[in-house]
Amino acid sequence: MTNIERAGNPWGEPRETRGDWASGKDLDVPTFAEIGYPEMNGAIWFWLAGPKGLPAPIVAKLNEEIRRLIAAPETKQMFDKSALLSMDADPPALTKYIAGEVKRWTAFVEEKGLKK
């Protein structure tokens, strides 16, 4: 949880080096730098969301169990083999992170004049 609060940086490292985790992995996907946007670094993220108004005790229990499963050695090993990263986040921290990413990507798209 503390990593996700570090200036919106869940991996605890500078934006410039976040893509380094992929080095040596056979991903066959160009980096932003390779396609002409060296200042941008990003990742695909997945999260579990429930319907609006889901009772807080259910949200808390789901979050607790998912965080426990993601922390399990078997899950970490599977994520590593698949070149996946994970975040240990509670719902408010995840909401804050996603809002920051939407803001960052919106600014990037607008600045570059890319189609939405």
Q: Per-residue pLDDT for the chain (116 aa), expressed as one digit of tens each?
A: 333 333 444 455 565 666 666 666 666 777 777 778 887 777 777 888 889 999 999 999 999 999 999 999 999 888 887 778 888 889 999 899 889 989 988 998 888 887 75
Q: Are 93 and 67 in contact (CB under 8 A)?
A: no
Q: How many CB atoms lie within 10 A of CB 91?
A: 17
Q: Are 49 and 43 in contact (CB under 8 A)?
A: no
Quick one: pLDDT at residue 63? 94
Quick one: pLDDT at residue 59? 94
Residue 11 DSSP one-character state: T
Q: Are 110 and 26 in contact (CB under 8 A)?
A: no
pTM for this predicted structure? 0.60
